[in-house]
A and B are shown apart, each in its own frame.
Chain A
Amino acid sequence: MRTLDQTTQEVVDLAARHFNVAAGTLAPSDDFFKKLGIDSLQALELLSRLENHFGIELPDYEVQGVSDFRTLAERIQSRL
């Protein structure tokens, strides 16, 4: 079973790969909309990729209002 820190790191790493930014430039507390310059649809695309990676389904409402990697990781962790 992953710890929350591990999940968070995987979320951050996957986001960096998905949006093609250098690993290490993203931090758990970052606002991903702002840091990555993405819109809500691109955030949903990332979510699909995270679901495949973690093997879970995360309903859209679970990520409503979430904008930082740490909180996103918490939502994922609760379904692992």
Chain B
Amino acid sequence: MLDLSKYQSIGAALKDAMTAFSAETCLIEADRDREKERLTYKDFQSRAHPLARALQDAGFAAGDRASIIMTNQSKWLISAYSIFFTGGVLVPLDYKLTPAEHWQLLKHSSAKVLITEYPIWRQLCNAPERAAAEDVKLVLVTEAPAGADLAGAQRWEEFRNAAEPAFVPRERKDVACIVYSSGTGGRPKGCMMMHENYLAQCVALTSLYPFWPGVRYLSILPTNHAIDFMVGFFGPFTCGACVVHLRTLRPEFVREAFPKYKITYVSLVPLVLKNLQKGLQARFDELPSGKRRVFNFLVAVNKAFTKSKPRLGLSRKLLGQVHAAFGGELHAIIVGGAFTEPQTLQFFYDLGIPVANGYGLTEAGTAITVNDLNPFRADTVGKPLSGMEVKIVDPGEDGVGEVYVRSKTVMAGYLNDPELTAEAFANGWLKTGDLGRFDSTGHLLLSGRKRNMIVTEEGKNIYPEDIEAVFESLPVKEFCVFAANYVWPKRSMVGEQLILAIHLENGQSYTDALRNDIIARNNRLLNYKRVHGVVLLEEDFPRTASLKIKRNLLAERLAQLDRTSAILPL
């Protein structure tokens, strides 16, 4: 691994990785069962430098912002490398957002360059919101069919200059990326992540879960996600490891990729991990009773021998078929993005597959705590990583209070929003909005949220304010969206749901027509953003002098209702 303490920027570290590991394979890209590309670090550099030079020729300079909206693929990483090489600021956006949301964030970030793929551009270029993002001067589109109308964009593959680009150095405190943690429908939360954040996070994470040449990381989480950006790009690249991209997330091809590419690490969100668990459990259940008894015995032996720490060699011998299905070289599954149920984590650990469960949020870099596996604990999110200061503020009698973090991995603030930034910090500590406590061994146990938001099993942060626009002009007196667990606090971080609180007009009743209207509007939202039910409140919503809803006060009033009977399912 490169000694990252010597580097000032992501770009400088990646540049040196290209020469330090030039002959190693850095990228494999496959589409279903077809391998499309296999690049060494030298190949990667030869693809990236002409793009970097062309960007410089187009006037792209230090501090300029460039956005990437793409599914996971080699061109994502090549483009990101080129942006960092030229001193730019990367704005990675979730490709699953709607065109209106994309343009809103492009406008907010003042991105000058947009790099995207043709199917996404086809939707983006016709969206009326395009006109507002006037800073976007250059659009590069990958894999456009011959003769396609690019609506003012240029072909990524042809945008290059063979002359050597000039490397543009940056300082540790300069902004490297603007990562949106939420706010697509309301107030955008663009986390300004500094080069130092990534350099410090990479050192901390790789001290527990190291990469080395020969390691193969299967990149399934979108690379715009903080976890995949770190463990599916910056981490492996600065260690000479290899990233495997699949162009599809179909479960059958993901399963095939493990043995085919001898995967060492993979990061998954809880939803995918649970899906894997379900598939494996179904196969175990189908075993004839004799084989089932033998299998259960071997699992019990494995559990006994791995109680204090993982023993990969032994587990692979005891449960060879299970490990073979994962390629036989899997060191750990990294799970994050949302809270994972302990029984799912334990299921995999009992099979001898270590699960690196942790806790983090975009504002604090990739991870704050991670399970160090000494011993494995399914009931916690691990201990603070090296360099992380974590404290519990205002703990109750049970020790539970809000989790605060201070470290070199914490963002500089929210872009263009000093007010929101000030609210996020207290005396230099980042207020996470999550509730938890430490146990006597230093493990952090999370137990709920203080914030009005939910995190889905797919790792998506959903803020109620962001989805309210879809209910605008709903024929009721007033409405407001809440996280149900915010209104009725629950010591749980799974199964979180949103509710729509409604105050009807005088004499109005909750008719089928109104319910259908709500359902129709709800269906316009992506499935994971939808509200689960309606709560009727027969009083005016409390408001400020400027007529903004006082959400805290309204939540307190809703909390007087019985949760089970108050929520009318949609």
Contact = CB atoms under 8 A, between A and B. Distances in A.
Contacts of B530: 34
Contacts of A19: none
A40 B458 contact: yes
Interface in B425-460: 457-458
A56 to B, nearest CB: 13
B186 interface: no
Interface stretch (B12-20, B242-250, B287-295, B303-311): B242-250
A44 B95 CA distance: 17
B126 to A, nearest CB: 14
Contact of A61 (B71, B252, B271): B71
Interface stretch (A1-9, A10-18, A20-28, A62-70): A62-70
Contact of A60 (B249, B271, B527): B249
A41 B271 contact: yes
Given A31-B523, A62-B119, A41 B98 contact: no
From A57, A62, A64, residue with most partner B Cβ within 10 Å: A64
Interface string A39-53: 111001101100000
From A34, A39, A44, A61, residue with most partner B Cβ within 10 Å: A61
B contact face: mostly helix, strand, loop, or mixed: loop
Contacts of A45: 250-252
A65 B98 contact: yes
Contacts of B250: 44-45, 47-48, 60
B119 A61 contact: yes
Contact of A48 (B117, B252, B528): B252
A33 B528 CA distance: 10
Contact of A39 (B117, B248, B252, B271): B271
Contacts of A61: 71, 95, 117, 119-120
Contacts of A48: 250, 252
Contacts of A40: 271, 458, 527-528
Given A41-B251, A48-B250, A65-B98, A59 B526 contact: no
Contacts of B523: 31, 34, 67
Contacts of B526: 65
Interface residues of B, number: 24
Nearest to A61: B119
Interface residues of A, number: 18
Contacts of B527: 31, 33-34, 40, 67
A65 to B, nearest CB: 7
Contacts of A60: 71, 247-250
Nearest to A31: B523
B119 A59 contact: yes
Given A33-B527, A67-B527, A59 B248 contact: yes
Contact of A44 (B120, B247, B251): B251
Interface string B494-526: 000000000000000000000000000001001
B275 interface: yes
A60 B526 CA distance: 15
A65 B454 CA distance: 20
A48 B249 CA distance: 11
A67 B117 CA distance: 22
B477 to A, nearest CB: 27
A33 B525 CA distance: 12
B93 to A, nearest CB: 14
Nearest to B248: A60
B460 to A, nearest CB: 11
A61 B250 CA distance: 12
Contacts of B559: none
From A40, A62, A65, residue with most partner B Cβ within 10 Å: A40
A62 B118 CA distance: 11
Contacts of A59: 119, 247-248
B224 to A, nearest CB: 15
Contacts of B248: 59-60
B550 interface: no
Nearest to A44: B250
B96 interface: yes
Contacts of B272: 41
11 contacts: A31-B527, A41-B271, A41-B275, A45-B250, A45-B252, A48-B250, A48-B252, A59-B119, A60-B247, A62-B119, A67-B523
The 8 residue pairs across chains A and B that have the minimum distance between CB atoms: A33-B527, A61-B119, A41-B275, A44-B250, A60-B248, A48-B250, A31-B523, A67-B527
Given A31-B527, A45-B250, A60-B249, 10 more contacts: A34-B523, A34-B527, A40-B528, A44-B249, A44-B250, A45-B252, A60-B248, A64-B96, A65-B96, A67-B523
